Structure 1
Amino acid sequence: MTETHATAKYPPGRYGRRREPRPRRSWPVILVAAVVVLAGVAIAWRLFQQYGPQEYEPQVQRFSNITDDGINVEFVVRKDAEKEATCRVRARSASGEEVGLAEVDVPKGAEPVVSYRLATSDRPVTVEVPACGPRRSR
């Protein structure tokens, strides 16, 4: 009987039969990794569609002339220059209550600056343009 590394360390028969090492099965690990990567890509794609660049992106530039019954707002809409848009403009009071709401038409142009006087039911402290979309016929 030839002496191997295992028998040199441990006397034969003393600690029971030693198992031969099994070959590693790598295909389940690869399969699980592929499923995780595909799920990650699917989630990233969905989030990009939901929160990525939008067709109409409004941004308030400034607001001024705040009174108890109105507020002036200037905003820009990033959109295709050939499209018209309709944007919802909203004012809020110090308590967070909505005190003014209007739909404002945005003309064609690369990035038109829109100035609008929003009438309010109470003194506003801020104004926002939460959404814009294709121009609606009225």
Structure 2
Amino acid sequence: MNETHATISSGAPNFPSGRYGRRRDPRRGRGRPLLIGLAVAVVVAGLTLVSIQQYRMYGDPVYDAEVITYTEITDDQILVDFRVTVPEGGSAICTLRARDKDGFEVAREQVTVNAPPGEQHLTARHRLTTTSRPFIGEVMRCREPA
């Protein structure tokens, strides 16, 4: 006849074999914090690179542009009036685009805008030739000429 002792001398519980499934190896999960830390570092590095790329494309506050209005919409053109802020007496290359009602791009052009000496804010007008009827005209960005 076997007796069951009320206390077990070892630190781990002693379960009947085959009754509760396989026991996990306590050493197996030790690499997880390192793996999670490495994954977090990779994600942070990736997001940093994306944010730097986006800032280079859209984030130069010296060259600020806004659409005033877009008019003369026909099946193959749109006239975009916009305002640009540039360094005093400088110039900018602005990317304009037109989109149709479904949001598809139907025209894109780069326009050079030159400020008169002593001016920082100027208005410009450009006619975009489109591949189909546009719905909206936009200034995507303005940047320093290369």
TM-score after normalising by structure 1:
0.57
Any idea what the Cα deviations from partners look like across 1:54-96, whole Å, max 9, x if unmatched?
22453323223x16586442324466x4553121334467795
Mapped partners of 1:71, 1:28: distance in 2: 60
Distance 1:23 1:120 in 2: 69
Q: Which residue of 22, 25, 30 maps to 2:33?
A: 30
Structure 2 counterpart of 1:50: 53
- The answer for the alignment partner of 1:60 in structure 2 is 67
In the alignment, what sits opposite 2:138? 128
| Distance in 2 separating the partners of 1:130 and 1:71 | 15
Residues 96-128 of structure 1, C-alpha deviation per residue, up to 9 Å, x if partnerless? 543x8451314362xx24231426478754322
What residue in structure 2 maps to residue 103 of structure 1?
A: 111
Q: Identity, % of aligned pairs?
A: 23
Shift of the 28–21 alpha-carbon distance from structure 1 to 2, 3 Å rule, reads closer
Q: CA deviation at 1:36?
A: 1.1
Residue 80 of structure 2 corresponds to which residue in structure 1?
Answer: 73
- Deviations along 1:32-71, one digit per CA (max 9) or x if unpaired, are 111011011111101211224522453323223x165864
* Unaligned residue ranges in structure 2 (runs of 5+): 18-22
Query: 2:20 is matched with which residue?
Result: none
| AA at the equivalent of 1:37 | V
Q: Is the 8 A contact 1:74 1:113 kept in 2?
A: no
- Secondary structure at 1:135's aligned position in 2? coil
Helix, strand or coil for the counterpart of 2:32? helix
Contact 2:94 2:139 in 1 (8 A): yes
Q: Please name the residue that 1:3 is paired with.
A: 5
